[in-house]
Amino acid sequence: MSPHNLHHPFSGSHAPCSPAAHSLSSLPDHPEIAAALDVIRIMKTLGFTALMVGGAVRDILLERPVRDVDLASDMPLESLRKHFRAFETGRSRLFHTLCIVHQGQHLETTLFRTKHSLPAERPDQEDTKHSLFLQDARHRDFTINAMALDEQLDLLDPFHGKKDLDRGLIRAVENPRERITEDPLRMLRAARLACELDFEIEEKTALSISGLARDISDVAPERLGREILKMASLSGPRFARGIRLLDRLGLLPVVLPEVDALKGLYHDPRHHPEGDVFIHTLRAIQCNDLAHDSLNMALLAHDLGKTDIAARHPGTGFYRGHDRAAEYIIRQMGQRLRLPGRITRAMQAVAANHMRMHGLDEMRPSKILEMVEHPHWALLARASVCDHAARGKEHGKLQQKKIALALKKIRPLLNEATGKTRPVITGNQVMQAAGIPPGPMVGRIIRETTAWARDNGIQDQNLILDYARNLAQELQKENTRS
């Protein structure tokens, strides 16, 4: 099955079925799951219905690690506060949600989504459970998220979510257009889940997303940003597949117009046989085998500056200065999507410095140290290897060798215990040798004297002091002339 095929023909009815068609014999040993089952039992003794719902049920069935456990209940929020330790979340008012703290675990608990209030004379609790969840599940996003577990570990599965799990399908519940209209973010979530689970998007769901793609512009930017970061937290190959899915579904121009603009930007095939700038970007991401959001986002953005250079110098195929041009584009992108500062800074650091990494092994020791002492050095090194590997594995291996040679060149300058460098002269030594007071000039002399000594292999302290003294005199003359 091709991981990039959006259409997956499937025959068979998807009308609501018997909701407890499957029962689990056991659950993974997980403190949140244990706490959730206890809350469900307590609510039942109080005459209410509660179920474990959503992604936790899906991940239990897939035998994947369970992250957050959510509950759905018909217990009024006032009663929840009375019987449990509970507090509001950012979703509380909109979704009638409280976070229950039980057995030290935080359980997000939401009222069942129903169109009608419950009658005063309530039917049998078991019948209520099925009817409540059927109404609730009708408004969940995908069949694989529209399943629930009760305290007996019976699976309530009114829309064949288990069958879609087995077939590897992301299918909207009942009417795809209605589910998307309820929350257009579901279009982006479908692509992210398809990559995360290595699933396909069912044909009608994919067609509906393509038809409604422009509606995702109605979603709050910070929600888009969070979903993109969830996708970027996957391995590089999965994230690259996610970007391709966004492109094929028509979401990329709306969600990430900066990335969409890379399509068709010419690359000289002598240097980039893999294709244009967009294809190169995806190949670079694919070469990252780590599940690392900062690295994936940095690779996604490292060539964004080429769009600015291409606009100013169309048709040349040369992008001199694109590394610096990317910084502004990334800042705007980060602000638009409300990306965390750590992500934006990582993206800017890689974009601004990735070209310098090409000739790292040929740099003077002081320049290599300047790169190695950059706060994003580890990210730069990994991104550089991926950037080169996009042209072919042999290019990635060659870049790894160049980085190793550069590090070997500066090894004598590093403290063996700490792995860090220190200046060859102190501030007190500069002030005493040059007879100058504390100030910015002292720092400049330390930096320039240290760079000179490192590049020329100078260790003689007398020579270092003489250089600092002469440099101070030159700087003082410059200040006098200005």
Distance CA 38, CA 81 (A): 16
CB of 91 closer than 8 Å to CB of 97:
yes
- Among 302, 160, 286, which Cα is nearest to 235's? 286
Identify the H or E element spanning 149. strand 148-149
Alpha helices in 118-235 (DSSP H): 125-137, 161-167, 176-182, 185-197, 203-212, 221-232
The tokens for 262 are 């890379």
Coil, helix or strand at residue 235: strand
Distance CA 82, CA 249 (A): 47
| AA letter at 263 | K
- β-pairing, 70-73 vs 105-111, is parallel
For the chain, first and last CA: distance in Å? 71
Coil, helix or strand at residue 98: strand
Structural domains for the chain: 22-161 (3.30.460.10), 236-413 (no CATH), 427-481 (no CATH)
CB of 230 closer than 8 Å to CB of 34:
no
Q: Which residues of 291-314 are buried (b: 16+ CB within 10 A; e: fewer)?
A: ebbbbbbbbbbbbbbbbbbbeeee
- Strand ranges (E), 242-291: none
Q: What is the pLDDT of residue 418?
A: 64
Full pLDDT tens readout for the chain, 482 residues: 333 333 332 333 455 654 445 667 677 788 999 999 999 999 999 999 999 999 999 999 999 999 889 999 999 999 999 999 998 876 646 668 899 999 999 999 999 987 543 433 344 556 678 889 999 999 999 999 999 999 989 999 999 999 999 999 999 999 999 999 999 999 999 999 999 999 999 999 999 999 999 999 999 999 999 999 999 999 999 999 999 999 999 999 999 999 999 998 878 777 788 879 999 999 999 999 999 999 999 999 999 999 888 777 776 667 788 888 999 999 999 999 999 999 999 999 999 999 999 999 999 888 898 898 899 999 999 999 999 999 999 999 999 999 999 999 888 777 666 666 778 888 899 898 888 999 888 888 988 888 888 778 788 888 888 888 889 888 888 887 76
Q: What is the pLDDT of residue 310?
A: 77
- Among 58, 70, 205, which Cα is nearest to 145's? 58
Q: In what order do the strands lie in the sheet with 22-23?
A: 22-23, 154-156, 148-149, 50-53, 70-73, 105-111, 97-102, 85-88
CB of 283 closer than 8 Å to CB of 272:
no
Q: How long is the chain?
A: 482
Cβ of 386: how many Cβ atoms within 10 Å? 26
Residues in Cβ contact with 165 at an 8 Å cutoff, skipping those fewer than 6 apart: 58, 61, 62, 144
CB of 122 closer than 8 Å to CB of 136:
no
Coil, helix or strand at residue 155: strand
| AA letter at 431 | M
Q: What is the CA radius of gyration of the chain?
A: 29
Distance CA 223, CA 185 (A): 8
Phi and psi at residue 402, to the nearest 5°: -65, -40
Q: What is the pLDDT of residue 9?
A: 29
| AA letter at 433 | A
